[in-house]
Structure 1
Amino acid sequence: MMRAIVSGLLLGLVAPITAAAQAISLPELEQQIADRALGKIVAVQVEQNGETVYAQRFDRKNDDQLTDIRSAGKSLTALAVGILVDEGKLPVNTNVWPLLGSAANDPRNDITVRDLLTMSSSLDCSDSTLKSPGNEERMYRTKVWRDFAMNIPVAGDYTRDDKGYGRFSYCTAGVFLLGQVVEEVSGQRFDDFMAERVFRPLGIDDVKWTRSRSGEVQSGGQIQMRADDLLKIGRLVLDGGKYRGQQIVSGEWIKQMLQPHSQTGPYNYYGYLWWFSPVTSPRGLEPSWMMMGNGGNIISIYREYDAVIVVQARNYNKDDAHPNSFAIMRAVLEALPAPNQKGDGSGAD
């Protein structure tokens, strides 16, 4: 088991084992979804070895209907930051507050881009605690989110470990500020930057961003996208930042992004706005890095299977949202041919 976890933590450092892609069938899962046993599942799409092997929409809407993937969108911001890092314009040790125009004596001036990428800054900010000064719901009630985020107080008990990291505290406002950093460094609005540098090269032309009342782009999630476009994001990361021969973000950045920086559970870790969480397969715990958002929205990649699984769901604020989506991913892995094995794709013995 631990061997599988270690393998997964090195996901960006090893080559995938490729095999011929085969269409898969998931009748039992489809019945569960139809019976609402897994809540409101919107779509499931699976890609292996660069080919779509399963695609099903379950909410009776057109395939081009967009779905809000909530905080899974944070992982897109890591790609935007990575492009600027690759170009030498934004080192990860850049101090964020001075870049965004803070006063010389601001107590937040030592917070870096890396701190915000790893959710380990000194901000007194926790989205899981409603009374937290930086809780995202407080930000949404304001007109100018940048002013709110720039003025979140620092935690009085904050310390760093011997590697320079603080404690993990999930903070959407910090990721919103990373979008402001991208705007400051690139000279473009965040949505325009993403369209030009990420989406257009992937052939993604239909997304919907959430904005503040003052028009700021929410780079901390809440983007609406199609399932097939999310497959492209997963493939981009799985292939080391390359898509159909074009290097969009460097392989070196992908490696850094998928390095574990904080442990969030017995087998769970956090990189640069990407989650590591193993999924049970017929072989045991299968290493996987993921984009994850409220409602059970998950885009997961599997190096050894050379596969991407997209689950879109509207189980927002439900305790079983992620367990339901993990059940779907387990069913998919049972149906996919395992590495170095051939089968009919049905998952049958």
Structure 2
Amino acid sequence: MNSRRSIVLAGSGALLGAATATAASASASASASASADWPAADPAGQNMPGEALGQVLLDACRSVPALRGIVVVRNGALAGERCYAGASANDLLPVNSATKSVCSMLVGQALAQGKIRSLGDTVADLLPEPARLAPDAPAAQVTLRQILTGTTGLAYDWRTQTAALIDAADAAAFVLGLPRDSEAPGSWSYNDAAVSLLTPILERAHGMPIADVARRDLFTPLGIDHFSWRSDKSGHATAYMGLALRTRDLAKLAWTMADGGRWKGVQVVPADWVADSTRRHGPAQWRNPPIADTGYGYLWFTGTLDGRDVAWGWGYGGQFALLVPSLRLVVATAATAPAPKDVGAQTATVARLVQQVVALAAASA
């Protein structure tokens, strides 16, 4: 894939171009101020200690120099927001693998709309044309549920094979060429390649590009007007990474999940899908202290934070869209990607920052 290719969308218009739009140019094209679509609320009115929260957000740039934005939502109200290092509230910032969680929401909608029949459908059912070219491929018998729960049993190492996936002329053919994982068949494995199939699956189901589906069914109902989505060599947006959003728009998506699929009282994502997506279907091998008991739902991580159930979309380097349903709390973060050797430390530092915000909410509950 040409990593500089992107789809940039604003309002109802779409532009497919070879040059990536920078966050600055995207924010400059925004016609409304960031505060107009989701006014800031008095934290105290949402059972959040305003002074203490303000201090945590102020100090965050010292503990996490790579941090670019954080948004705190309580009871559906924007209780806190801060940008760092010259970023603005209108900047489009990469959410990296939290893109997967957004695509999970699209799958839930497609099932409710009857565009996809069942989570038990196989890749051969959902993508008959490419599967016909590789009828004996292990991936052809993988179910949609297995893609969502990370249990495809396909051999893939994100550390060594992501570059090949990005560079593949045909992502579906790449996945159909993967062998079975003989060491851990059926156990949880982080598999960008398998998730990449959600793009052709959703596009075939709807008969339109996935970015247009997202805009129509998910983003527009939430008032998300501006986003960019990186495309692969064939011009299709990638389901496993590549989405860039304002941090407050990432928080909107997270709050919709935290509120049972509703946005301002309107059911946008089916409630049963939200419940299934954010419950543990099995353990996940990755750990993210201070979050414990890490599991996996439908492309959403699950766990506990200081004894409270949480679910989160998680992107490389500390992109979080964390839900704490028992506190009616959401925390969304954006940070610049670190060097691979530093990713664990940076992610843990961002997670501890999120923990501080959750502790403030818990103390005021």
User: What is the aligned length?
Assistant: 306
How far apart are the structure 2 equivalents of 1:157 and 1:336? 43
Relative distance call for 1:53 and 1:214 in structure 2 (3 A) is same
User: 1:237 is matched with which residue: 257, 273, 289?
Assistant: 257
TM-superposed CA distance for 1:31, in Å, is: 5.2
Corresponding position: 1:291 with 2:313? yes
Shift of 1:186: 1.2
Counterpart selection for 1:99 from 118, 126, 132: 126
- Is 1:85–2:111 an aligned residue pair? yes
**1:36-89: CA deviation from partner (whole Å, max 9, x where unpaired):** x32300111101011111110012122111111100110001011111111233
Shift in CA distance, 268/337, structure 1 to aligned 2, threshold 3 Å: closer
Question: Structure 2 CA distance, aligned partners of 1:330 and 1:157?
Answer: 35
Change (3 A) 1:267 1:153: same
The answer for the alignment partner of 1:63 in structure 2 is: 89
Where do residues 28-43 of structure 1 align in structure 2 (5 Å cutoff)? 28-30=55-57, 32-35=59-62, 37-43=63-69
Equivalent position of 2:19 in the other structure: none
User: 1:325 — aligned with what?
Assistant: 350
Residue 142 (structure 1) aligned to one of 168, 176, 187: 168
Deviations 1:183-229 (A, max 9, x none): 11111111010100000000001110011122121111221100111
Partner of 1:113: 144
Q: Does 1:45 align with 2:77?
A: no
Q: How does 1:159-238 map to 2 (within 5 A)?
A: 159=185, 166-238=186-258
Alignment partners' CA distance in 2, 1:174 and 1:203: 30
Aligned partners of 2:317 and 2:344 also within 8 Å: no
Structure-2 separation of matches of 1:232 and 1:28: 23
Distance 1:142 1:337 in 2: 46
Alignment correspondent of 2:283: 263
Equivalent residue for 2:328, pick from 291, 306, 310: 306
* Larger strand share, 1 or 2: 2
CA distance in 1, matches of 2:337, 2:353: 14
Tell me the secondary structure at the aligned position of residue 71 of structure 2: strand
Answer whether contact 1:43 1:312 (CA < 8 A) is retained. yes
Whether the 8 Å contact between 1:39 and 1:315 is mirrored in structure 2 is no
1:221 match: secondary structure: coil
Answering whether residue 305 of structure 2 is matched by residue 279 of structure 1, we say yes
> Cα distance, 1:314 vs. partner?
1.1
Among all aligned residue pairs of Structure 1 and Structure 2, give the percentage whose two residues are the same amino acid. 22
What is the distance in 1 between the residues matched to 2:269 and 2:90? 27
Distance 1:38 1:110, change over 3 A: same
Structure scoring higher RCO (CA < 8 A, sep ≥ 6) equals 1
Structure 1 unaligned segments of length 5 or more: list them: 1-18, 160-165, 342-349
Unaligned runs of 5+ residues in structure 2 are: 1-43
Q: Distance in 1 between matches of 2:115 and 2:61?
A: 49
C-alpha deviation, 1:92, in angstroms: 0.2
- Quick check: 1:294–1:321 contact (8 Å CA) kept in 2? no
Q: TM-score, normalized by length of structure 2?
A: 0.79
Q: Give the 3 Å change call, closer, same or farther, for CA 30–260 of structure 1 in structure 2.
A: closer
CA deviation vs aligned residue, 1:260-309 (integer Å, no higher than 9, x gap): 112125611000000013223xxxx3321000010100010111211111
Q: Structure 2 vs 1, CA of residues 112 and 271 (structure 1 numbering), >3 Å: closer, same or farther? A: same
1:208–1:223 CA contact under 8 A, matched in 2: yes
Q: Match for residue 268 of structure 2?
A: 248
Q: Which amino acid in structure 1 is aligned with residue 272 of structure 2?
A: E
Question: 1: distance between equivalents of 2:66 and 2:136?
Answer: 49
Paired with 1:300 and 1:218, the residues of 2 have a C-alpha distance of: 22
